[in-house]
Copies of this chain bind each other. A is one copy, B any other.
Amino acid sequence: MKNSRMEEIGKVLSEAESILVFTHLNMDADAVGSSCALVREFRRLGKKSWVLFNDSETADNLRFLLGDLTTDDPSVIEKPDVCLAVDASETTRFPRVADKFLSGKIRIAVDHHEIKDTDWEYNYIDPSAGAAGELVLKLFDVMGITPERGSAEALFAAISSDTGNFQYNNTTKETFLSCARLCDFGIRPNAVSNALYECVKPEKLRLQSEAVSRMEFLLDGRIVMSCLTEEMYEKTGAVPNDGEGIVAELRSIKGVEVAVLLKEENGKTYGSFRAKNEANVRVFAELFGGGGHDKAAGCTIEHSMKEAYPLVREAAVRHFSKAFEEMEKAGESIGWNS
């Protein structure tokens, strides 16, 4: 795949009369924020434009971004001049509406994920960008668009969220420069952050308390392990989705290098793993047929919690005692506070 210049993409979009925007399933703030900002600005230019979501549900804390910009009805634009995928580039990332994307006269992808072999009419893939939102801002620049505050705030939501509030490794100089630009368009970081982060379900906090009460420390506290069981969902009124983010809370404990959280759902067990400094949980997840990133990975185990827990526990002790030993031999720093 050869990257197009952003100017070429801007030109095609400027000339289009109808633009359908796509993003990936399991939408996060970057997916929703980037796609909604695009459609809002395309409409201001007088174009017919919608975000066509793959998913029918949007997370509660992202709904403030939607306005009337989104739909799940592929017939909303019969024959779009351009189909534009943002924060996604392969149709496997939006399977329900993949055919509609393919039907576009011109297909474009603007993404910051590494991709394998996608090659649309135009592609702008930059894995060094912290968020697709940064690329959308660049696109606005080349198109001469001064975004409305609502669009700018959607991009701020995208960027702040995908960089973990500027805490992840993908935070770059460009990330901060993008946000400085967004300030020119009147963003209110506090209002956006309240909307994104300050709407936690009480059931979720209660579920987290249960996970904390069950946590156990292995290998001198370098591994923390806990679980979410059907019984705990029942006790707290939470649903399995509320388990999102709890494994990161466990990782935040002092001295912890690896957090392991097992979640029970429909008789299966889902493993969720996080690493703090130098440890690699992707390799561990692969032991159970899973995968992911070095610092965040997961797997599915076709066993009940009762069977899966001791299996994973034993494997974690075995795998990481060796891994930690090798890290120490290699003299790898494992953080200032560890």
Q: How far is the CB of A338 from chain B (nearest CB, A)?
A: 8
Size category of the binding interface on chain A = 35 or more
Within 8 Å CB of A195, what residues of B? 335-337
| Segment of A19-27, A163-171, A321-329 engaged in the interface with chain B | A163-171
Q: How far is the CB of A181 from chain B (nearest CB, A)?
A: 8
State whether A179 touches B166 (Cβ < 8 A): yes
Within 8 Å CB of A249, what residues of B? 205
**Those of A36-89 within 8 Å (CB) of chain B:** 60-61, 63-64
Given contact pairs A171-B190, A172-B183, A194-B277, A202 touches B61 in the complex (Cβ within 8 A):
no
Given contact pairs A194-B276, A200-B252, A173 touches B167 in the complex (Cβ within 8 A):
no
State whether B200 touches A253 (Cβ < 8 A): yes
Within 8 Å CB of A168, what residues of B? 189-190
State whether A166 touches B180 (Cβ < 8 A): no
- The distance in angstroms between the C-alpha atoms of A273 and B181, with both chains bound, is 34
Judged by a CB distance under 8 angstroms, whether A198 is at the interface is yes
| Segment of A10-18, A115-123, A208-216, A303-311 engaged in the interface with chain B | A208-216
Judged by a CB distance under 8 angstroms, whether A160 is at the interface is yes
Q: What copy number does this chain have within its complex?
A: 2
State whether B180 touches A167 (Cβ < 8 A): no
Given contact pairs A171-B190, A176-B176, A337-B60, A197 touches B252 in the complex (Cβ within 8 A):
yes
Judged by a CB distance under 8 angstroms, whether A251 is at the interface is yes
Q: How far is the CB of A167 from chain B (nearest CB, A)?
A: 4
Report which A residues bind B (CB closer than 8 A): 60-61, 63-64, 160, 164-169, 171-173, 176-177, 179-180, 183-184, 188-191, 193-195, 197-202, 205-206, 208-209, 212-213, 215, 217, 224, 249, 251-256, 276-277, 335-337
